[in-house]
A = this chain, B = another copy of it.
């Protein structure tokens, strides 16, 4: 029997630790596991912040990314944007305090939502090379400055050093860090692919990338319009938990519960409050919201479910938009054929609105090349941010897998097909802190599946046409192989002209396989494709 220890002895070691200490020990939870993934995570965090900042300031984003190998598995990563910059007063906390930022407490759709990403990069640089992050920032009109930023992990506080004024004003932010235990690779899960996908979902952004070999790639801006800034929104009553309602009530300035409800939540009018009353008879609507009890809140949440509501306001969500996706897909994948679907807003967990956009693209650089030809791939996005990792647990992957692709004449395993899905919401339920996958909420999976099926339906005619054409071409070739011999034999037997007989046979065969000819002309123009596209749209 093992020696026993008393609780008193065990609890001598009881301690609290900071969130920075926690993530230092569990960096894989922030996306820092694996050398290639770790490098992409750094780029991902900074690019995401740059795009958010530009959009919030109403600026067309110009993003620069440079990855330079400074030693073995040690890279300098520099990201610049032309956004609003960060005032010097906030720059330390913004880049070196985990769980601090402008985004967390707002109820508005954004790429970032946690205030973890950039501070995580600072932590990772510090852990692997001991270097602080070098920052240059100017708000355009304010002071231009540079500084170095590290993180005091025991207290989760920034350590700002070498703060210096810069002579010339500019607008934007530049961050530069040295990271080790990372590796650049030009693969499906690498930085180039990440930026390519970012360009795909952000056609209004211009992205310049310089890779470790000095090769420059430019993802050109395809749309000259900043996306509408999503409006901050009030929470919808159906999306509330009891404790949310209580917290809103206790911090409310409204005089009565009735006015509190109408002031605080979307779709609540004074009339609606009257409608609620019979379903929450125990609640005194005249008392101060500060006096709302748990029982009151419970009754109200129940009452919310008894009345009819207008759906949450979808104008608070900005999807990419059908036209913009088309432009982007053409720009980046140049597919032979595609179909883009933007679905109507839906809600999950009762009242959190979201919008799914889906596209299926065929040909061009769709799908991915394999040793045996091509295979389909799923391009996952959340609020326009590409998700490259953890695909196995992501709602998008699961929804796409659940589609019966055969019904749409699509063979995911062998065809050059890309399935594009973007989920937009004020609150994306990511499965992990690293934000690489969307949690498996049933309502979201179902809606993605419907969107993908709708998109697939639009390409079905084209692909099954392609398929038939390919089949006919094979048969035609097989038969024509015998035609020459047949013509020769017939000519010999009948004494007619062999060439004439050959032509006649070819015409006969072509009558049976009309697609062979169509296809040839389609290669010249795009008539056949368009015809099929129209047909598909009529469906």
How many residues on A have C-beta within 8 angstroms of the other chain's C-beta atoms? 87
Q: What B residues does A141 contact at CB under 8 A?
A: 6
Query: Which B residues lie within 8 Å of A34 (CB)?
Result: 440-442
Q: Separation in Å of the A139 CB from the closest CB of chain B?
A: 4
Residues of B within 8 A of A181 (CB): 241
Q: Does A538 contact B (CB under 8 A)?
A: no
Distance, CA A177 to CA B153, complexed state (A):
34
A17 with B115: CB separation less than 8 A = yes
CA distance A26 to B104 in the complex (A): 11
Q: Does A430 contact B (CB under 8 A)?
A: yes
The residues of B that contact A3 with a CB separation of less than 8 Å are 58, 229
- From 1 to 36 in chain A, residues with beta carbon under 8 angstroms from any chain B beta carbon are 1-8, 10-11, 13-19, 21-22, 24-26, 28-29, 33-34
**For the complex, is A105 an interface residue (Cβ under 8 Å from B)?**
yes
Indicate whether A94 reaches chain B with its CB closer than 8 angstroms: yes
CB-based contact A430/B26 at 8 Å: yes
How would you classify the secondary structure of chain A's contact residues: helix, strand, loop or mixed?
Answer: loop
Interchain CB contact under 8 A, B19 and A19: yes
Whether B87 contacts A11 by the Cβ 8 Å rule is yes
Decide: B58 and A130 in contact? CB cutoff 8 A.
Answer: no
- Does A226 touch B at the CB level, under 8 Å? yes
For A13, list chain B residues within 8 Å (CB). Answer: 102, 105-106
Segment of A121-129, A307-315, A478-486 engaged in the interface with chain B = A121-129
A181 to chain B, nearest CB (A): 8
Interface-forming stretch among A380-388, A431-439, A449-457?
Answer: A431-439
In chain A, positions 76-133 with a C-beta closer than 8 Å to chain B are 84-87, 89-90, 93-94, 97, 99-102, 104-106, 114-115, 126-130
* Cα(A143)–Cα(B164), bound, Å: 60
Check if A429 is an interface residue, CB within 8 A of chain B: yes
Chain B proximity of A103: nearest CB distance (Å): 8
Q: Are the CB atoms of A139 and B6 closer together than 8 Å?
A: yes
A241 to B38, CA, bound (A): 15
A22 touches B57 (CB 8 A): no
| Residue of A14, A16, A93 most packed against chain B (CB within 10 A) | A14
Q: State the copy count for this chain.
A: 2
Structural contact, B97 and A16, CB atoms closer than 8 A: yes
A193 at the interface (CB under 8 A from B): no
Tell me the minimal C-beta distance from A95 to chain B in angstroms. Answer: 12
- Using Cβ atoms and an 8 Å threshold, which residues of chain B touch A53? 10
The answer to whether the Cβ of A298 comes within 8 Å of any Cβ in the partner chain is yes
> Nearest Cβ in chain B — how far from A98, in angstroms?
9
Interface pair A7/B128, CB less than 8 Å apart: no
Asked whether any CB of chain B lies closer than 8 Å to the CB of A411, the reply is no
In the assembly, what is the distance between CA of A18 and CA of B114, in Å?
A: 11
Q: How far is the CA of A409 from the CA of B476 in the complex (A)?
A: 43
Residues of B close to A33: CB separation below 8 A: 429, 431, 439-441
Contacts of A427 in B (CB 8 A): 25
**A16, A34, A56, A129: which has the most chain B beta carbons within 10 Å?**
A16
Q: Does the CB pair A104–B1 fall under 8 Å? A: no
A115 contacts across to B, CB distance below 8 A: 16-17
Q: Is A501 an interface residue (CB 8 A)?
A: no
Q: Does A242 contact B (CB under 8 A)?
A: yes
CB neighbours (8 Å) of A303 from chain B are: none
Residues of B contacting A226 with CB < 8 Å?
1-2
| Given A28-B430, A58-B2, A84-B10 contact (CB < 8 Å) | yes
Contact B130 A297 (CB under 8 A): yes
Residue A278 at the chain B interface, CB threshold 8 Å: no
Q: Which 7 A-B pairs have the closest CB atoms?
A: A392-B392, A4-B58, A2-B58, A7-B84, A130-B294, A7-B139, A28-B439
List 30 A-B pairs, Cβ < 8 Å: A1-B225, A2-B55, A2-B228, A4-B57, A4-B59, A5-B57, A6-B84, A6-B140, A7-B84, A7-B86, A8-B87, A10-B56, A15-B100, A15-B104, A15-B105, A17-B115, A19-B99, A22-B114, A24-B243, A28-B429, A28-B439, A29-B431, A29-B432, A29-B433, A33-B431, A127-B241, A130-B246, A130-B297, A393-B393, A432-B432
Beyond A13-B106, A127-B242, 13 extra complex contacts between A and B, CB < 8 Å: A5-B56, A5-B84, A6-B141, A11-B102, A13-B105, A16-B93, A16-B99, A19-B19, A28-B430, A29-B431, A34-B441, A181-B241, A391-B392
Q: Interface of A with B (CB < 8 Å)?
A: 1-8, 10-11, 13-19, 21-22, 24-26, 28-29, 33-34, 53, 55-59, 84-87, 89-90, 93-94, 97, 99-102, 104-106, 114-115, 126-130, 139-142, 181, 225-229, 241-243, 246, 294, 297-298, 390-393, 427, 429-433, 437, 439-442
